Copies of this chain bind each other. A is one copy, B any other.
Amino acid sequence: MDDAAGPQARSVFGVDPLDEFALLVSDCVWDHCRNLGNIEIEAKIGVLIDRGTQSRLRLPVFTETIVDAKQLNLRFESNMSMAQHRHYNQLLNQAVAFSAQAAPPERITYRHQKEIDSFYDERDPETGHMVHLRVTRDAVTHEIKPGGIVAKKRIADINVFAPNRPFDYRISINTEAPVPAPQEGTEPSFVREKDRLSYTHQNMNIDLTQVILPNKPKEPVHELEVEIRNSADLMQHAYLSRGNSQPGTQEWSPFEDTILVLLNNVRLLIR
């Protein structure tokens, strides 16, 4: 207990190693997004399901790790029980109440929104590719929300197995490009109602959503997502730190740190 010797050095090299996990997620975001706009980066909380057994993944590991979902034949189920949804609602409301005494940049705000999403699969007249359109309307006025018509495209997924937690999580990179409205008279392929509590804290949104599908009106799905609000800002940090650097000269910048804060939020939520 020789505390007189001063603080413990972080290692024989004087530093902590960079966080391998956060760096790998950051590398994936950088590799996929450096040439894209309208990026959405979010982490969904749920369970990794083995398609073979149709139950949660089992793997002989004892700590959180990013898994190869293709090789393991996994799908991700973003759902939780009503009781878990209620628990998260209380937990986040407490965080809002607690933060009310903090300085404005630390405060958490929240909004309650009811929306209806209509999905359309249309063929792009120029490329011939199928495009997945989402039109979001206010559930009360039925007016289309500002920026509410987007073409959503899946870019990449990172699947995280968390053996000591009730939930796993998936980090998804998508683009949500604003597009013109679908042609009048087109029938949506799919409609859903969303009842969402959106908690906003700095550059993070935590969305606690109840989703009702028309064919299962009595079985709402409960979703919890953490999303980076301003991904353009995130990528600006990435361009600054990584745009001109040589491979292998990696440093910790606000880019990696924002990715770590995303992970921090998820990890604290699934404890």
Contact = CB atoms under 8 A, between A and B. Distances in A.
A265 interface: yes
A236 B3 CA distance: 12
B24 A63 contact: yes
B63 A11 contact: no
Contact of A106 (B14, B17, B24): B14
Interface in A68-117: 68, 71-72, 92, 95, 99, 103, 105-106, 108
A20 interface: yes
Interface string A229-255: 000010011000000000000000010
B65 A5 contact: no
Given A16-B264, A24-B63, 17 more contacts: A5-B105, A6-B103, A9-B261, A10-B264, A11-B264, A12-B92, A12-B201, A15-B268, A17-B264, A17-B271, A20-B164, A59-B59, A60-B72, A61-B67, A62-B66, A62-B67, A64-B65
A249 to B, nearest CB: 13
Contacts of A10: 261, 264
A201 B10 CA distance: 11
Contact of A13 (B9, B161, B268): B268
A8 interface: yes
Interface in A33-82: 59-68, 71-72
Interface of A: 1-2, 5-6, 8-17, 20-21, 24, 59-68, 71-72, 92, 95, 99, 103, 105-106, 108, 161, 164, 199, 201-204, 206, 233, 236-237, 254, 257-258, 261, 264-265, 267-268, 271
Given A6-B105, A11-B268, A12-B204, A1 B258 contact: no
11 contacts: A1-B233, A1-B237, A5-B202, A8-B261, A10-B264, A11-B265, A12-B201, A12-B268, A14-B99, A17-B268, A62-B67
A271 to B, nearest CB: 7
A206 B12 contact: yes
Nearest to A94: B13
A107 to B, nearest CB: 10
A212 to B, nearest CB: 26
Nearest to A58: B71
Contacts of A67: 60-62
Contacts of A2: 233
A68 to B, nearest CB: 4
Contacts of A17: 264, 267-268, 271
A66 B59 CA distance: 11
